[in-house]
Chain A
Amino acid sequence: MYEGADKQRLDSDFTELYRTHLRDVYSYSYYRVGNHHDAEDLTEQTFLQAYRHFERAQRESNGRPLRPWLIRIAHNLAANYYRDRSRRPQTQLEDAAVVSAPHSTAELAEGRQELHDVLEGVSKLPDDRREALIMRFALGMDNREIARAIDRSEGATKVLIHRAIRQLEQGLKEDEGD
């Protein structure tokens, strides 16, 4: 049982975590499930789970950033989401990219197809490769953080990302050749 002052500090720390990483969790969720409705549900559940286990996570983190832990919760919940509903990610992701990216009007028409192809390519990658790319590019996580989130070594994570990019590149070239 913790004292009131400890709880107050924990809540304050959790508020900080929530505010700092809401966009990360939401972005990850969105690119995992492919629509805003389910991404919102996933984000809510992630923070509820995080609150439940925050005290222990903080104690065991030894001062390391908690973002990988948070993303791992979202990752596990997303896995359940697919298992329960036998779903795959949807590919209607161009909305987020095109709306959020600072494209000029002239670039938009040309860029839209290109971004659509990339997102479609990402959605076709094996789960672990797709997730690693989301963490790297949408969340800006480095190899160490991604490794902690997916429970692999840094070396294995580096290889995973390299292979994901090569596979995507190959797919895009093949599509271009068609």
Chain B
Amino acid sequence: MTDALDVEALLRSALVPVEPSEGLSDRLERGLSELTDAAAGELADWELGAMRDPRNWGRPVAAVVVGGAAAGALVLVRARQRHKASSEGRVTALRRGVREVAGDLRKRAAR
């Protein structure tokens, strides 16, 4: 090394950003899509249930429709994902996480 260490320059060279693998991006996007779908389904179920109660008939019907389509934001990545293979073990772990989070959202929606 040189006498005058430019530690900041060395750090900039050493600690470069690391690109995630395509496999990770795909798994994660798929997991988040599933999560969004699960939460959206919960929302639609709740709203349909609520509409059976005459006290809620004033709620705009549009909300139900929007609720059913609420997964839209993350769905845009799904078409690409369909063509991708996945690593089974990692997907299983992620699915477990997705189920936990979906369960949490379900409880929150029920409150």
Q: Which residues of A approach B to under 8 Å, CB–CB?
A: 1, 3-5, 7-8, 11-12, 14-15, 18, 22-24, 26-27, 30-31, 36, 39-41, 43-45, 47-49, 51-52, 93, 96-97, 100-101, 111, 114-115, 117-119, 122, 133-134, 136-140, 165, 168-169, 172-173, 176
CB proximity of A40 to chain B, nearest CB, Å: 5
Q: Using a Cβ–Cβ cut-off of 8 Å, how many residues does chain B contribute to the interface with A?
A: 55
A100 vs B16: C-alpha distance in the bound complex, in angstroms?
Answer: 7
Q: Secondary structure of the B side of the interface? A: helix
Count, A-B residue pairs, CB within 8 A? 157
- A118 is contacted by which of B14, B64, B73 (Cβ under 8 Å)? B14
Tell me whether A115 and B27 are in contact (CB under 8 A): no
Q: Kindly list chain B residues whose C-beta atoms are within 8 Å of the C-beta of A169.
A: 5, 7
A11 in contact with B72 (CB, 8 Å): yes
Q: Are B24 and A51 in contact (CB under 8 A)?
A: no
Complex Cα distance, B4 from A173, in Å, reads 10
Q: Please determine whether A4 and B63 come into contact, CB atoms closer than 8 angstroms.
A: yes
B69 and A4: CB pair below 8 A?
yes
Given known contacts A97-B13, A133-B15, A137-B12, A11 and B70 CB-to-CB distance under 8 angstroms = yes
